[in-house]
Amino acid sequence: MPNSTGLVKLDAMENPYRLPEKLAAELGERLAAVALNRYPEPRPTALIEKIKRVMQVPAACELLLGNGSDELISMMSMACAKPGAAVVAPVPGFVMYAMSAQFAGLEFIGVPLNADFTLDVDALIAAIETHNPALVYLAYPNNPTGTLYDDADIECVIAAASNSLVVIDEAYQPFAQQSWLSRAADFDNVVVMRTMSKLGLAGIRLGYLAGKASWTTEFDKVRPPYNVNVLTQVAADFMLDHLDVLDAQAAELRAERTRLEDAIKALPGATVFPSAGNFLLVRVPDAAAVFETLLTSRVLIKNVSKMHPLLANCVRLTVGSAEENAQMIAALKLALH
Ligand SMILES: *Cc1c(COP(=O)(O)O)cnc(C)c1O
């Protein structure tokens, strides 16, 4: 990861906004009162109940908390690891699915998306039939493409994966405004994963998995005992009372996403793909040159062109504040002449 000091940091889908000063001060008081000498509650019931209520988790679902959704992914890999176990996911997709599977000794089978980044349902079903995976990941929307897969396609995958667990990863739900959460308990083989990270709290590391207790209980068995620390528990509890602030920031970023998309569409040689996340995937004539020109202009983006053949000459731009986006557009103009 390049050192980002002094750069406009638009490479990691972070929310550009900090908390309003008054709210930050109030949070500071809450955190100061925390008993740091005590271990955290291993299964913080009050916080879990609050997330369920605020996020409208279906009553038939249980919640499992993780130190970010990254830890939930690694817990699921660990719980499913046995000789011959496999994980299937569309590619290009979130790299942690493959990394975490490999760390736990599971085989990872990536199934290429269609060229327009929609699901290749037939290929996915064929992979599921061939490999009988323990886990199938679907990021809704997908990172790095931004695609919100068709619901009917997802239903086909869920039906074909009756022997597997389908994990619907809704890290970008605040920007997609569409969700499978309300349906999480309608299937025996579906769980929905969310995180506070893309909602402006990447630093506190809190993710949650909603699904039937038959799944969450099994994954809970491999959870490190104190995986969510006391400061995170208190910060999350506090922020759930002030979700309006984070929701307003997400709304601002959705509006910025539209402005950014329109501005890029007007540039010569750039093709921007529809995105339901707080980022845009853009194909340019020379991704490496665009990356370097932007870096020279002090703007850090992500060159994803080497991640997968379908991403040839693609860069991924996080949607930042209006000022940051203006700076990025100016640099992009320079890069594309
Ligand atoms: C960012 C991201 C996550 C990671 O979330 P953390 O909660 O910060 O670990 C999960 N899934 C996808 C698709 C992401 O892009």
The pLDDT tens digits of the residues spanning 251-306 come to: 999 999 999 999 999 999 999 999 999 999 999 999 999 999 999 999 999 999 99
Q: How many other C-beta atoms are found inside a 10 Å radius of the C-beta of residue 10?
A: 27
**Probe residue for ligand 1, chosen from 169, 180, 192, 205 as the CB with the greatest number of ligand atoms within 8 Å:** 169
Burial of 179 (0-12, 13-18, 19+ CB in 10 A): middle
User: Which residues are within 8 A (CB) of 84 and not within 5 positions of it... i.e. 6 or more apart?
Assistant: 107
What residue's CA is closest to ligand 1, atom 12? 171
pLDDT above 70 (res 221): yes
DSSP state, 306?
Answer: T
Q: How many other C-beta atoms are found inside a 10 Å radius of the C-beta of residue 92?
A: 22
The full set of domain ranges for the chain reads 8-19+244-335, 38-242
**In the CATH scheme, what is the code of domain 38-242?**
3.40.640.10
Task: Kindly indicate the confidence band of residue 1, based on its pLDDT and cuts at 50, 70 and 90.
Answer: low
38-242 matches 8-19+244-335 in CATH topology: no
**In the CATH scheme, what is the code of domain 8-19+244-335?**
3.90.1150.10
DSSP state, 24?
Answer: H
pTM score > 0.95 for this model?
yes
Segment 150-188, tens digit of pLDDT: 999 999 999 999 999 999 999 999 999 999 999 999 999
68 Cα to the center of ligand 1, angstroms: 7
Cα(38)–Cα(92) distance, rounded to whole angstroms?
Answer: 42
C-alpha count within 13 angstroms, C-beta hemisphere, residue 74: 14
What residue's CA is closest to ligand 1, atom 1? 171
pLDDT above 70 (res 147): yes
DSSP state, 148?
Answer: -
Protein residues whose CB sits closer than 6 Å to any atom of ligand 1: 13, 68-70, 94, 139, 143, 169, 171, 195, 197, 202, 207
Check: CB of residue 195 under 8 Å from CB of residue 206.
yes
What residue's CA is closest to ligand 1, atom 11? 171
The sign one gets for the Cα dihedral 246, 97, 288, 3 is: positive
Task: Kindly indicate the confidence band of residue 6, based on its pLDDT and cuts at 50, 70 and 90.
Answer: confident
Segment 86-103, tens digit of pLDDT: 999 999 999 999 999 999
Residue 72 is predicted with a pLDDT of 98
